[in-house]
Amino acid sequence: MSRVIGHPTPYIDARRKVTGEALYTDDYRFSNALHVHFLRSPHAHALIKSIDASAAEANPRVRAIAVGKELPTAFGILPISPDETAMAIEKVRFVGEIVAAVAADTKQAAMAAAHAIRVEYELLPAVLDPEEALQSCEPGRQIHDHSRDRTNIHKTAELSFNDPEAGLQESTFVRSAEFKFAGVTHAFTEPHATWATYSPDGELTVISATQVPHYLQRTLSTVLGLPRHRVRVVKPTLGGGFGGKGDPFPHELITAHLAMKTGQPVRCSFSREEVFLTNHGRHPTTLTMSVGCDKSGKLTALHGDIVIDGGAFASFGVVTTYYNGVLLQGPYRIDRFGFRTRRVYTNKPQSGAMRGHGAVNSRYAVETLLDMLARDAGMDPCDFRMQNFLPAHTQTVGQLRITSNGVRECLEAVRKRSGWDQRFGKLPFGRGIGVACGFYISGSALPIIWNRQPQSVVHAKLDADGSIVIFSGASDIGQGSDTMLAQIAAEVLGVPLSRIRVVTADTSLAPVDLGSYSSRVTFMAGNAAKSAVEKVRHEIALAVSQERKVDADALCFDHERVLTADGQVDVSWDEAVEIATAFRGSFVESGFYISPKLGGDFKGSGAGLSPSYSFGAAVSEVAVNHHTGEVRVIKVWSAHDCGKALNPLAVEGQMEGSIHMGLGQVLSEELRYDNGRLLNANLADYRIPTALDTPEMDVTIVESADPEGPFGAKEVGEGPIHPVLPSIGNAIFDAVGVRMYELPITPEKVRRALRQGSV
């Protein structure tokens, strides 16, 4: 009787987006608005000796200037590491850090005034190499005072179960390698933008391109010293995030501060270069990984030693540090398991969360080593993986609870659809196919800021006009979560989508949802929405049952009618709404989601806990030119277990987007620095794949019906990226017989490997 759930559904805001009517942050206009421009550090590491803004102040078009000491409260998305201030105060820690800001009548005046501010710096030696950052150093070289032992180590995460080192020694086959991953960035198409207004009665409104309105509201309140109920955050239509708009940012705080200082609306809109300097992308990583198996190919032990380059500040880094290791506990059963990850501070823009957060690089390493072990054990790489999968309804060694699990079906699908059995190892030299699997969380079970509130609350309003309005704090960032909420309401109430309106991501209208990160929205906000509209349905059923003298449980909601199976009662939706709202008026029901208690009681047991996990597999086919080293990806077959595809159109879109982003990281994308200065801070030199570079895609949705997901659903936003990268690496080996340990895999690196004839 499903009408909406499970059917390909165009996004409810697609019509507004395709006509240009959808308003993104920078499309808003306020009269009497000021423009902000930031003065940024030209140095990677330096003390600020003095700031002279007198020339800027003299400009008659300048309305306010702000410097670091005005906003001294430290913040960070994670309350355990608030190490950042809105502007640098005593010293700068990367090229591009904001030192001062100007609000002026025009953008040009703001820029000119910002450039007229004189800052005197005393240069400090910059720490740019993560290896160096691990070593103890002179106090002057320490980026933050709070790092321990005179190093620049931000966080060490370590977990070990059942002595994996000994396990490796006892294994029949062991493969170890060192891998290197360049830093990559989200490259969303919409640059960061923020508007702030401050009303005469003291309410701050911030309209911003943010994935996390709730955390932004909290941070604005803390840093600006306003009570939270006087801070309103609104997220309009948003042009892509992928994790890159998942922190509260300095520019948001400063824009709000300048609105408070001037009493005028302030507009902040970034240039593309500024977007790059506000990176927060995937951590550059060096890791050594070892995996072992017995002679039958059963996995025995895994150990990883990982160093991740955090850049100047913490961002989500503590979580990343754990995720690099803990998310290797699936999709395979490995009972002797351990890792150590060290995140270091360096004088570069900070690294943070990016699609597939924390697990993409280490997944590449593991899946590459598994390919090598399969060969050692004389097994087909698909068979080798198949016999090591975790089952459903089990626990990993680190006590991650696995509920639904469709990984077997995923691998079978890509194996069959790619013609693996006829083609693997049999294609001519220069042509090859490779396979890999993936595993990811459907939302973090623990909120970032620990409290007893639900992770998501949704209100559903039934009005006398027969409409349903869903109020949710969830942030649609292009993944289609507004449509998902509307679909759930329509499904439960048996009405078409046109009856449903969705109001989201406005802290003054919608109840709290923690935001779009950790692939949590469909699972958590979806569950909350389902519960809210089920209560509305219950209220309507109760009212109709009393009036028509039937059992409430006998009533069905279908095709805009409320009826019994025998036709004894059959009222239209509008009639049912009239009955339900008689003598009480329109009403609102509230639903919420709280994760069940999960995990063990050891230190670090909270990392990677999720109410459910998604699984996936990919096969890629490549052509490698052995003269030039150029790798062309011809086709990618991807299968993903998303529990239940609430909207197959959106699920496919997320899978295809993951293939595109994975392809970019594996072959062409890299943030390149010279002495701490970003060399390719533009979309011409930072090469994301174009329509011509992106291969043919074949996507298969696997539905494992998660017992706790809404209608069985779990995530699809991030999981599908994981197997893409290693499947391409493994395909290169099948094509030309070289293993690639460094990403991106440029033609030079392939040529070098071919010359050296690596393993």
Point out which residues bind another protein (CB under 8 A): 8, 10-11, 13-15, 17-24, 26-27, 29, 186-191, 237-240, 242, 269, 271-272, 477-480, 649-650, 652-653, 656-661, 682-684, 688, 690-692, 694, 696-697
- Token readout for 601 is 């009681």
The least CB distance from residue 249 to another protein, in Å, is: 18
Query: How far apart are the two ends of the chain, measured CA to CA in Å?
Result: 56
**Environment class of residue 17 by beta-carbon count within 10 Å: exposed (0-12), middle (13-18) or buried (19+)?**
middle
Closest to 743 measured CA to CA, from 753, 755, 757: 753
Per DSSP, helices labelled H in 567-607 are 573-581
Which residue, 380 or 482, has its beta carbon nearer to another protein? 482
Q: What is the closest distance, in whole angstroms, from the C-beta atom of residue 516 to another protein in the complex?
A: 12
**Which residue lies nearer to another protein by CB, 297 or 480?**
480
Q: Please, what is the minimum distance in Å from the beta carbon of residue 324 to another protein? A: 24
- Closest to another protein by CB, 591 or 720: 720
The whole-angstrom separation of Cα 88 and Cα 279 is: 17
Q: Are 349 and 384 in contact (CB under 8 A)?
A: no
Q: How far is the CB of 241 from another protein (least distance, A)?
A: 8
How is residue 715 written in tokens?
A: 């995530």
- Our CB check for another protein shows the closer of 28 and 173 to be 28
Residues 530 and 710: beta-carbon distance below 8 Å:
yes
User: Which lies closer to another protein via its Cβ, residue 11 or residue 389?
Assistant: 11
- Structure tokens that stand for 540 in this block: 């309507």
CB of 79 to another protein, least distance (A): 29
Residue owning tokens 């890791």: 287
CB of 280 to another protein, least distance (A): 15
Minimum CB distance to another protein smaller for 573 or for 637:
637
Closest to another protein by CB, 9 or 444 = 9
> Measured from the CB of residue 355, what is the shortest distance to another protein in angstroms?
10
Q: How many CB atoms lie within 10 A of CB 549?
A: 8
Give least dist CB 686 to another protein, A: 10
**Of 193 and 334, CB closest to another protein:** 193
Which string of b and e fits 256-266 if b means at least 16 CB within 10 Å?
bbbbbbbebbb
Q: Which is nearer to another protein, 1 or 692 (CB)?
A: 692
Beta strands in 392-545 (DSSP E): 394-395, 401-402, 431-441, 456-462, 468-472, 500-504
Q: Compare residues 21 and 570 and give the one whose CB is closer to another protein.
A: 21
Cβ atoms 590, 424 nearer than 8 A? no
Distance CA 453, CA 39 (A): 39
SS (HEC) of 305-366:
EEEEECCCCCCCHHHHHHHHHHCCCCCECCCEEEEEEEEECCCCCCCCCCCCCCCHHHHHHH
